[in-house]
Amino acid sequence: MTQPRALITGMKGFTGRYVAAELQAHGWDVWGVGTQPDAADPRYRCANLLDASALQLVVEDVQPDVVVHLAAIAFVGHGDADAFYRVNLLGTRNLLAVLADARRKPQCVLLASSANVYGNSIEGVLTEAAPLNPANDYAVSKLAMEFMARLWMDQLPIVIARPFNYTGVGQSEDFLLPKMAAHFRRRADTIQLGNLDVWRDFSDVRAVAQAYRRLLQICPAGATVNVCSGRMHSLREILHMMGRISSHSLDVQVNPAFVRGNEVRSLRGSADKLLGLIGDWEVPPLEETLRWMLEVA
């Protein structure tokens, strides 16, 4: 039986590496595309999302059965606001246009959006029907991508995933939990953080990769799906977990620059729709994920 072939954009990024490993572990023939050269990987192609001709060559070369679109500028504090729209919106449009024109169209296209499209103004459990209120350029670019993708849904079997916060080994210290873990690993004396008493939904990147694989396998075309644990932890609680695991304590200094105005106290996602589609799916307890991150040298 022929292996299903997957093309992952952004395969060399944090999430891409885990999605590639998940698919390979389940018998997929995994190919990647990104902007950083890697001559050592024969199944990796270098192309920019803004270069439609280069993307077309990659798609014709690989002829994927499925596409996982992860390539994006994901750090909210990225300094170039225009880049969010060039990469996250226009780059995605180029990809969808190329896939729609391909001689062999994919059987499923999974687009990674973000739970940031909900914003930070509505407290409680967020289902896919929650009001959309993006509060920064990153979130606006992702929501614009979702609306743009709907123009292609009559030509391509598109699934939109809205992951909530997730983390794991290899995530940039630009993100909060890896920053905290790094301070504990090097046994720093102090750390600067914002509001410690906000509660958020965190998942493990390995579980997110599994959810993406299972969505690819069933391909609920046209669906938008939260990917989340459905569990909340406060940053204060996470600090205590990391301290217990590492047997180290930090002096936490609250930096007013890191405190967001009008930030709601608690936000978590509803995974009901995801579970209804893919069946049983478990996110490891956050303490298990933190232990994994803290024990990496």
pLDDT digits (tens, 9 = 90+) for 236-289: 999 999 999 999 999 999 888 887 766 678 889 999 999 999 999 999 999 999
Query: Residues 116-172: pLDDT tens digits?
Result: 999 987 788 999 999 999 988 999 999 999 999 999 999 999 999 999 999 999 999
178 within some domain: no
**Beta-carbon contacts of residue 196 (< 8 Å; ≥ 6 apart):** 234, 235, 236, 239, 252, 254
290 within some domain: no
Q: Are 202 and 229 in contact (CB under 8 A)?
A: yes
The domain total for the chain is 1
Segment among 71-75, 91-95, 220-224, 235-239 with least mean pLDDT: 71-75
Which spans in 26-77 are helix H?
52-62
- What is the C-alpha to C-alpha distance for residues 102 and 20, in angstroms, rounded to an integer? 23
- What is the C-alpha to C-alpha distance for residues 109 and 123, in angstroms, rounded to an integer? 31
Q: What is the CATH number of the domain that holds 39?
A: 3.40.50.720
190 within some domain: no
184 within some domain: no
192 within some domain: no
The pLDDT of residue 262: 63
